[in-house]
Every structure is written in C-alpha cells, then in structure tokens.
Amino acid sequence: MTQQSAQTTLPAGTVLGNYRIERLLGQGGFAMTYLAQHTALGHAVAIKEYFPDGLAFRLHQTQQVQAVSQSQQTFYRQGLQRFLQEGQVLAGLRHPNIVRILDFMEANGTAYLVMDYEHGETLQTYLDRIDKPLSYQESMQLLLPVLDGLREVHKHQLLHLDIKPDNIFLRHNSTAMLIDFGGARQFVGSQSKSVSFMVNSAGYSPPEQYSAEPLQGVYSDIYSLSATFYRCLSGRLPTPANTRSQALLEGDRDPLPSAMSLGRGQYPDHFLQGIDQGLLLNRKQRPENVRSFQYLLQGKADENRKVRSNETVAKPQSLKGKRAAKWDEPAP
C-alpha cells in the first residue's frame, strides 16, 4: 500500500445510505465525526464513524476501512461490535440529557452512528470562555440533569467511561447532555492491552481506567463526574488519578487539594463532601450509584441510605438491529 492509496477521512460528497457527507467536524483517536445532510429531508445530522487510529486505515479508491494488519483484525472487529452495541443501547434511550441516536449502519468495512446536529458548545468551551469558577447554583443547574441522564444510561447496563467537560454539551437553551461515550474504546484497550486505546482523560479518569483489567463500574463514572464538579468549582484541572496513586504509594500526601479545603465557606459543606467522596481513589468507598451521589450533593442525608437499585452495570446487551444519534461537536 502506497501513501497515495490511502486517506484518513471521507471526502465531501460521499453518500452513506440516506446521508451525504459535507465536512469533517472532528477527529479523535477512536472515531471521526462528520457534518452530513439527509438527502431527502434536507436536515443536518452528525455522523460518527468508527475509525480507531493505529488499528485501521482507509483505501482511497473504495473508501473501505480495514485493520492495519491481520494480527490487529480481531481487535478491530471486537471494537466495531462494541461500537455498535453502544449505539444500539443509546438508540433505545429517549432522554433530554443523553445524545440521541437516530440511526446506525455498517458500510465500508466499518460502522456509523447518526445523531442530531446540535448547536451550542461543550462545558469545557463554556468554562474557558467565562474563565471563572461556577457557583453552587450554576453547577447544580448544569450538572444535575446530566446525573439524571447518567442514571438512565446505567439502568440500561451501559457505562460512559469518559465523562469530562469536553463530553458534556450545552445546547443553546443551556440544557446539558452527555456525548461521546468511551466504552467501545476502553473495551479495545482492555482486549489488546494497548495503552493508546485506554480511555484516560487526565484529571477525569479514575485510577481503575489506567489498568487494562476490566475493573470499571458505575463508580468509575461517579469519579469522572466528581472531577467535573471539582473543575467547575475550582477553575483548575484535577490532579490525575495515577499521579495521586503514585504519590500515596511513595508515602507522600495526596497532591489533590480536597474540594472542602478549596470551597469551604463559598459552597455548602454537603456539596463539597459529596465531591470529595466521589474522588476517592478506592472505588469501593465512592457513592454506590448515581442516586446516592445526587443525594450527597443536595444534602439529602436522610435519603442517602444504601438501597439496592438497578443502577448497576452487567455485560452489555447484544445487538440485533436498532437506530442511532447526532450532534454538533467533534468526537474525541
């Protein structure tokens, strides 16, 4: 294969089913997101293409996506199936705070999720733009609905595994939604033992996501959400979990200042305590589910009792044909 025989992105004008590609919105290590248009209805959509960098390449003449080598074929196909599994589960959800999957398809040796094209900005872009910490009221107004959406995700045996301000999208009406789920990428990393495919967002990923072992659970998403709250109130990126773990192993103090130490007197104590509990390195000591985490943040101590719920995650459901979603920001 010569360099001229392969390219990375789909060219403008490419037709996928009922959709015509207009331009690339964003490209990450695991997928590409395109702006496209429905050829019959004329409305704009976003299409996310499974394209794991380092595992796949595209033939220019045919647009076919293939594994880079026979030895990587198994990992490529496993990731493709998990990508479709996530799409299938998300397609069955109708929640205002979760990215909505309108359609999905397999073509060109890969898979595509079709999503609503939304106008707005990510929480990260918003925080950078205002350049100041959010108040308690602002943080709760923006992120409590995200917690509601995440509870719905967990009820359907799915984890997000990459919650961070870049993956929380704020529509123009200020409602927030979770985008860009990281479970498929995390799965490929755990199967291939490839660090490059582990979903590690520095400051937001919990310590268990730095391991190739399948240790992730509801508590992993709670850590990432706690880190997001921490960023909102502190104005700073939390210390990465692996750096914290290493410091403690060496007998040093935790280099992450507690939320309580940063926000006492400016935020309710129960809010700060909830964030600190969600950021505990020991996953077993974090809130057991999103409902419990919500109660901690809201100061509903009487309601925050250990209740068995369906907010747990089992093996992902198998997929046998469903539909997918769309939005406006690039997919990491």
User: Annotated binding site for ATP: which residue ranges?
Assistant: 48
Annotated binding residues, written as ranges, equal 48
**13 in Cβ contact with 39 (< 8 Å):** no
**117 in Cβ contact with 326 (< 8 Å):** yes
Which run of H or E residues covers position 132? none
Amino acid at 37: Q
Q: 128: Cβ–Cβ under 8 A, 6 or more apart, which residues?
A: none
Q: 103: Cβ–Cβ under 8 A, 6 or more apart, which residues?
A: 17, 91, 113, 114, 323, 324
- The label of the residue with tokens 């925050």 reads 304
Secondary structure letter of residue 308 according to DSSP: -
Question: Which residues does residue 31 pair with via DSSP β-bridges, in sequence order?
Answer: 50
CA dihedral 167, 150, 145, 281 (to 10 degrees): -80
Burial-class residue 317 by CB neighbours within 10 Å (0-12, 13-18, 19+). Answer: middle
Please provide the distance, in angstroms rounded to a whole number, between the alpha carbons at the two ends of the chain. Answer: 27
CA dihedral 64, 69, 70, 71 (to 10 degrees): -140
- As a whole number of angstroms, the distance between CA 94 and CA 187 comes to 25
In total, the chain counts a number of residues equal to 332
Which run of H or E residues covers position 121? strand 120-122
**179 in Cβ contact with 331 (< 8 Å):** yes
Nearest residue to 114 via CA among 90, 130, 132, 135: 90
